[in-house]
Structure 1
Amino acid sequence: MAEKKPVTTNIEWLNRAYSAKGLTDLRSLYDEWAASYDTDLVQPNQDYVAPTLCAATVAKYLTPSQPLDKIKILDAGCGTGLVGGALAKLGAKHIDGIDLSPGMLKQAGNLRVYEKLDTCDLSKPLEVESDSVDVVTCIGTLTHAHVGPEVLSEFVRVTKKDGWIVATVLDDIWEPVGYRAEVDKLVREKKVELVSADSGDYRRGAGVSARMVVMKVIK
């Protein structure tokens, strides 16, 4: 019987992502990684569960007046479409995706679960109308060397009153990089209600955890 080869951790991609020097570097990295991204992150020693957990969280907090198949969802930093795919499996039908990488968006388009896909620099104001979406998801993007906490106020701007924001923030940058402070500020300004910011599985196989930040927009 042939010896089974051990699963290898494709950590080099992650090292490059977490040490990227600016937008050009990030875009090039994700364009290169796009074809193997899903395979690399679902292997057992990564077990990237955050997209599935996000979709379940969205479904959990929707009210009867917000059926999943009727609401408008903006998947910010959608990558290859792992979150969109998970949402579609639960019944979501109106999902737009935005991402920095054209290569990742091409992969997301192959899923045929997004109504619209656009390139976007999340470090700048979003080219999305105010009060135009019911839910914003942002999974895997609020991480090292990517997008800062200032994007949260943009998510609030584009979300309708009584809508939802569901985002992951890696545990080790939640406070040091200012995400917690930004959330606290939005709460003080009575723009959102913080429903949850519990730490939980993110890349479960690698032992990496993140906050699943759930905010209800009350502006």
Structure 2
Amino acid sequence: MSPENPLLVRAISLGGDKRKITEFYDEWAKAYDHDMTDTIGYVGHVVTAEALAPLVSGDAEILDAGCGTGLVAVELKNRNAALRIDGIDLTQGMLDEAAKTGAYRQLVPGDLTATLPFPDNSYDGIVSAGVYTNGHVGPEGIEELVRIAKPGAPIVLTVRDTAWEADGFDVHIRDLETAGRIRVREIRHSPYHANEDIFCHLCTLEAV
């Protein structure tokens, strides 16, 4: 396996510092798609769209949480053009790039480690790719996704392997299920950065 891309090494070493994360992704926004998909072989947007698309239908309202430049929304729209997709992201530079895709109903700034600006039971489905990783958003962030999902709505997210046990995602998801807040439909090992043999846990959950 080749050494991990220096951009990713920098990304996962940000330690959750909001200022550093915002500056880093604002700086990276315009080159992000090329660097991630072409150089790194990122496929998180593809595997999450493939998992979510069969679980929602018609003009379902979907939240892309941590939408970045819009890679996930484009994949979802390619599978179901009628979906109404909202995006939220911490970084304005990323939101500006996402707007160029034309895939979103609305795009709003927001912090996935804080209370999200949406009412309870807002969405028919939620997707979050590339967010739950080292130095970014911890497992507690999943609780807000559960809050704003309608009962029975699928929540599909990736958790990088290096964060799964180290940051307590495995325990937190199990605790949410034990508490009756979610059902776990499936958790499976999935490619994540294909060119670097980095994997993730692809989690398909259901709000209760």
So what's the TM-score if we normalise by structure 2?
Answer: 0.94
Q: Is the Cα–Cα contact under 8 Å of residues 13 and 33 in structure 1 kept in the other structure?
A: no
CA RMSD across the alignment: 1.4
- Give distance in 2, aligned partners of 1:10 and 1:192: 34
Choose from 31, 35, 40 the match for 2:30: 35
Name the CA shift for 1:193/1:213 in 2 (closer, same or farther; >3 Å): same
**2:187 corresponds to which residue?**
197
Report how many aligned residue pairs link the two structures. 204
2:159 match: secondary structure: strand
Report how far residue 10 of structure 1 moved.
Answer: 8.7
Structure with the larger RCO, 1 or 2 (CA within 8 Å, 6+ apart): 2
Unaligned runs of 5+ in 1: 1-8
Q: 1:215 aligns with which of 199, 205, 208?
A: 205
Q: Does 1:129 align with 2:124?
A: no
Q: 1:176 matched to which residue of 2?
A: 166
CA deviation string 1:1-35 (max 9, x = no partner):
xxxxxxxx992221221111400000000000000
Superposition pairs of residues 37-186 of structure 1, within 5 angstroms: 37-43=32-38, 45-60=39-54, 62=55, 66-67=56-57, 69-92=58-81, 93-186=83-176
- The higher radius of gyration belongs to 1
SS of 1:133's equivalent in the other structure is coil
Structure 1 runs, 4 residues or longer, greater than 4 Å off: none
2:90–2:109 CA contact under 8 A, matched in 1: yes
SS in 1 for 2:116: coil
Task: Give secondary structure in 2 for the equivalent of 1:104.
Answer: helix
Q: Give the secondary structure class of the aligned counterpart of 1:131.
A: coil
TM score, norm. by length of structure 1: 0.90
